[in-house]
Amino acid sequence: MLLNQFLLLSAFLFGTGIYGVITRKHTVLVLASVELMLVAVNINMVAFGATLNNAVGQVFALFVLTIAAAEVGVGLAIVLLIYRNLRSANPDDASVLKG
């Protein structure tokens, strides 16, 4: 197996994630797209770890997983707050910062 197989897969997932973050009209889906990006990062970590034949890649992936979990928790709390205040989960409706 080439290392690049995994890296290119992760690059593709990352790009998809970026597309989702920019275009999705529901905040939960924006979060889901962020998860896509995090998975891409994890694949990179693990692939490098496997190339170097040690467990460090896995350990880093575990940390990323932990932080992703925390991020989803806080993120969904924020989504709930936005929904409660604006009666909408569309990020376009949260435009109070408009200049």
Number of Cβ atoms within 10 Å of the Cβ of 73? 10
Residues of this chain, 60-79, that bind another protein according to CB under 8 A = 61-63, 65-74, 76-79
Which tokens hold the place of 63? 């940390």
From residue 19 to residue 58, the character string flagging contacts with another protein as x (rule: CB under 8 A) and all else as - is xxxxxxxxxxxxxxx-xx--x--xx--xx-xxx-xxxxxx
User: Which run of H or E residues covers position 39?
Assistant: helix 27-52
Nearest-angstrom CA–CA distance, 2 and 59: 22
Closest approach of another protein to the CB of residue 40, in Å: 9
Count of residues interacting with another protein (CB under 8 A): 80
Q: State in angstroms the smallest separation of the CB of 96 from another protein.
A: 7
CB 45 within 8 A of CB 8: no
> At closest approach, how far in Å is the CB of 63 from another protein?
6
Q: Indicate whether 85 belongs to the interface with another protein (CB under 8 A).
A: no
